[in-house]
């Protein structure tokens, strides 16, 4: 098992950070030839997804998140922190992905990039934990 932590800053609500190359580099350097890699966000207002890195699609993704879970809808948590929609969006997307490692390579579709999704209302300093396990 091998572990690494990525750290980066985000710009705030629905900022999409492509971490594909960092994950691929981690897998290459891990020495794992066959196994899997866990990509995990420790935080309640961040998520990871796979999606094509195409500007129109990324804008569509942002729009659909805003439509599915709009801001300011009288959420009870907004009385505390005014970011209930951030928590709800994150819970729908999820904090982790697991991808296979086959013959030393991260397996993903050609149009399947890995993105961290910032869902909080303000810029944040973020961490993503990568953990590879296998032989």
CA–CA gap between residue 100 and residue 38 (Å, rounded): 9
Q: How far apart are the first and last CA of the chain?
A: 9
Q: Can you list the domains of the chain with their CATH numbers?
A: 15-134 (2.60.120.460)
> Which residues have a Cβ under 8 Å from the Cβ of 39 and sit 6 or more positions away?
19, 23, 48, 96, 97, 98, 99, 114, 128, 129, 130
Burial (Cβ within 10 Å: 0-12, 13-18, ≥19) of residue 67: exposed
- Residue 67: what pLDDT? 98
The candidate with the shortest Cα–Cα distance to 94, out of 23, 30, 39, is 39
- Residue 91: what pLDDT? 97
Instruction: pLDDT tens for the chain, 135 residues: list them.
Output: 999 999 999 999 999 999 999 999 999 999 999 999 999 999 999 999 999 999 999 999 999 999 999 998 999 887 778 899 999 999 999 999 999 999 999 999 999 999 999 999 999 999 999 999 999
Q: How many residues does the chain have?
A: 135
Contact 51, 86 (CB under 8 A): no
Taking CA atoms, 96 is separated from 47, 54, 124, in Å, by 7, 22, 18
- Residue 1: what pLDDT? 97
- With vertex at residue 54, the alpha carbon angle to CA 48 and CA 57, rounded to the nearest 5 degrees, is 75
């Amino acid at each position: 098992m091998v572990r690494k932590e990525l750290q980066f800053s985000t710009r705030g609500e629905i900022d999409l950070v492509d971490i594909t190359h960092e994950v691929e580099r981690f897998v290459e350097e891990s020495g794992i030839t066959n196994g899997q890699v866990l990509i995990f966000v420790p935080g309640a207002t961040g998520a990871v997804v796979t999606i094509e890195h195409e500007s129109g699609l990324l804008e569509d993704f942002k729009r659909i998140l805003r439509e599915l879970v709009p801001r300011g809808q009288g959420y009870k948590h907004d009385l505390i922190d005014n970011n209930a929609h951030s928590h709800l969006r994150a819970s729908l997307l999820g904090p982790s992905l697991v991808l296979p490692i086959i013959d030393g390579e991260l397996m993903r579709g050609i149009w399947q990039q890995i993105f961290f999704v910032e869902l909080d209302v303000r810029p944040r300093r973020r961490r993503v934990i990568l953990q590879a396990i296998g032989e």
